[in-house]
Structure 1
Amino acid sequence: MPVWVFLLAASVAFVWVGAMLLSKLNPDDPIPLLGAPPVVPASFIFILGGGVALGWLAGSFASEGVLGPWGYLVGALGVLVPWVVVRGQHNRHLTRI
């Protein structure tokens, strides 16, 4: 397997953990698309930063291979998809209450 696949998986895991941390610390507040919820721990910044860095690195390695310039899109999706999924589940849970 190419290295970028492992980096992409690590990026997804980092962003997923960071988003879950944010949703657990703000159980009664929605997570906005832009901006920040009331409680944002410093560890979230490091976890999300690590996920973004790993996603960028995965995209960089993927763009040097078969994917070409589409590798950067794959890296960006590795960051965006887990964020949107966790945020959507969290906010949807709030609207049902």
Structure 2
Amino acid sequence: MTLDTWMQGGLDYIMLQYLNIDGIRILGSVLGQSIALDYYVRQVDGMVAEFTDINRGMEKARNITMERKKLFQLVGKENSNLADVIHKLGLFER
């Protein structure tokens, strides 16, 4: 089978027109970024759930019942994740 484009893929397969080091590098980079992004999506989902609980509590009681230390840890974790996504994954380099 010959491909009209250099690559064809789906949810569980990838086919290359030619198997060479450049294609392997590109696929490795894309797959690595996809796996890392899945990890960060799970992290962010958990933080959004925590912030949602905090916001609901503030709506009802008009104050935060969370310890100050835990709040700073949550904000720090969010900032670290943002920095990791931008810098370590290099999503905005190309």
Give the TM-score normalised by structure 2.
0.44
Between Structure 1 and Structure 2, the one with more strand by share is: 2
Larger radius of gyration: 2
Give the TM-score normalised by structure 1.
0.43
Give the structure, 1 or 2, with the largest relative contact order (CA under 8 Å, sep 6 or more): 1
Between Structure 1 and Structure 2, the one with more helix by share is: 1
